[in-house]
A = this chain, B = another copy of it.
Amino acid sequence: MAEPVRVGVVGLGWWGHRLCQGAADGKALTVVSCYARTPQTRDAFAEELGIRAAASFDELLADADVEAVMLATPHSTHAELIERAAQCGKHVFVEKPLTLTVAEGVRAHQAALDGGIVLQVGHNRRRQPANRRIRQMIDAGELGMVHLLQGSVTVPKDQVPRPGWRSDPSESPVGGMTALAIHLVDTYRYLAGPIERVAVFSKQLWGAGRLDDITVVALEFARGPLGYLGTSIVLPRTHTITVMGTSGIAWSDDDGEHLYVQDKEASSRTLVETEPLDTIADELAEFGRVIREGGRPETGAPEALHAVAVLEAVVESDRRGGGVVDVREFGG
């Protein structure tokens, strides 16, 4: 096994912690440094993990011992931080969405190419064993001609308004779409190819915070199928995808922990056993492997840019009050 890649983590909220856990479990990365704007935050984080705290992002990048960075910072900061890391030759793992606009994402992608670095985006949910198996079923023709993808992802987190950047509409446009349902967009693309058209209804109904708390999107895939995704930040936790084809239907329920299938002749679904997988550890193991061994990550900038284009199209449809928007207008 190759020597672990030495990484610095930037953005030290709950997700920064989760990434460090995943890095350790994936065994391909060693976290050696961290940075957050607030000195107390980074000092406490560094002490907890027994690592260095950098006094600035530049100091972290200047550290010759750091080969790569993991970014769990506000969405709007991603492009600039990726550019700066790339200029210093540091590889980047960045949380989804890559950026909030395709223009920013293209800048980040170009910077990564220019810097010769690996840029990987944290679209981990497609790695859920149920989603992997559904993709195999589609490729093997077991579902027949895919006609419909339906899914929703909901969390109750914003029933009481949360402090911090995640609750800022400029960081999370269209409510749960930006941070949550972007996972569905990537998994949909993995299963059925690019999304071409969207029509959106999104609003505040619970109204405790500043974000939309309920969103529905009708969509059409370039290959032909239709689809739907729904998301909310004030509803009990769910994460489910249904893929319906002419020969069978498959469900990835409970965030891909449970796979169900129903064939053409059946009238109800059957549970199919799958092995659990820590998708964070899995994606970070890939990040280390690609850095050491070459190749490109499964969800790099090209894949992530499609999700950003869909996000921009959803924002635009919402702005228009629900009209149909073509994702290709945004480069998707």
Partner-B contacts on A (CB < 8 A): 145, 147-148, 150, 152, 154, 156, 159, 197, 199-203, 205-206, 213-220, 224-228, 230, 232, 234-238, 242, 244-249, 253-254, 262-268, 321-324
Residues of B within 8 A of A228 (CB): 150, 216, 218, 228, 230
The reply to whether A244 and B154 contact each other, CB–CB distance below 8 Å, is: yes
Among B150, B215, B254, B324, the residue within 8 A (CB) of A226 is B215
Q: Measured between C-beta atoms, what is the minimum distance from A251 to chain B in Å?
A: 10
Residues of B within 8 A of A214 (CB): 147-148, 225-226
In chain B, what residue has the closest Cβ to A205? B224
- Bound Cα distance from A219 to B145, whole angstroms: 26
- Bound Cα distance from A202 to B219, whole angstroms: 10
Residues of B within 8 A of A265 (CB): 236
The reply to whether B224 and A216 contact each other, CB–CB distance below 8 Å, is: no
- The CB with the most chain B CB atoms within 10 A, among A205, A235, A242, A321, is that of A235
- Bound Cα distance from A170 to B150, whole angstroms: 28
Residues of B within 8 A of A197 (CB): 201, 322
Residues of B within 8 A of A145 (CB): 205-206
The reply to whether A264 and B244 contact each other, CB–CB distance below 8 Å, is: no
Question: What are 15 A-B residue pairs whose CB atoms fall within 8 Å in the complex?
Answer: A148-B232, A148-B235, A150-B152, A152-B244, A199-B201, A199-B322, A203-B220, A203-B224, A203-B226, A216-B227, A226-B230, A236-B247, A236-B249, A236-B264, A254-B268
The reply to whether B235 and A245 contact each other, CB–CB distance below 8 Å, is: yes
Copies, count: 2
Tell me whether A244 and B249 are in contact in the complex, defined as CB-CB below 8 angstroms, given that A199-B218, A203-B226, A218-B201 are known contacts.
Answer: no
The reply to whether A219 and B235 contact each other, CB–CB distance below 8 Å, is: no
Residues of B within 8 A of A236 (CB): 244, 247-249, 262-266
Q: Measured between C-beta atoms, what is the minimum distance from A263 to chain B in Å?
A: 7
The reply to whether A218 and B220 contact each other, CB–CB distance below 8 Å, is: no
Residues of B within 8 A of A199 (CB): 199, 201, 218, 322-324
- Bound Cα distance from A145 to B205, whole angstroms: 9
- The CB with the most chain B CB atoms within 10 A, among A218, A224, A227, is that of A218
Residues of B within 8 A of A237 (CB): 267
The reply to whether A205 and B248 contact each other, CB–CB distance below 8 Å, is: no
- Bound Cα distance from A196 to B60, whole angstroms: 54
Residues of B within 8 A of A321 (CB): 324
- Bound Cα distance from A123 to B203, whole angstroms: 30
Q: Measured between C-beta atoms, what is the minimum distance from A196 to chain B in Å?
A: 10
- Bound Cα distance from A322 to B196, whole angstroms: 13
Task: Kindly list the 8 A-B residue pairs having the minimum CB-CB distance in the complex, ordered from nearest.
Answer: A322-B324, A199-B199, A218-B218, A147-B214, A216-B226, A235-B244, A228-B228, A216-B218
- Bound Cα distance from A237 to B266, whole angstroms: 8
The reply to whether A230 and B322 contact each other, CB–CB distance below 8 Å, is: no
Q: Measured between C-beta atoms, what is the minimum distance from A320 to chain B in Å?
A: 9
The reply to whether B206 and A232 contact each other, CB–CB distance below 8 Å, is: no
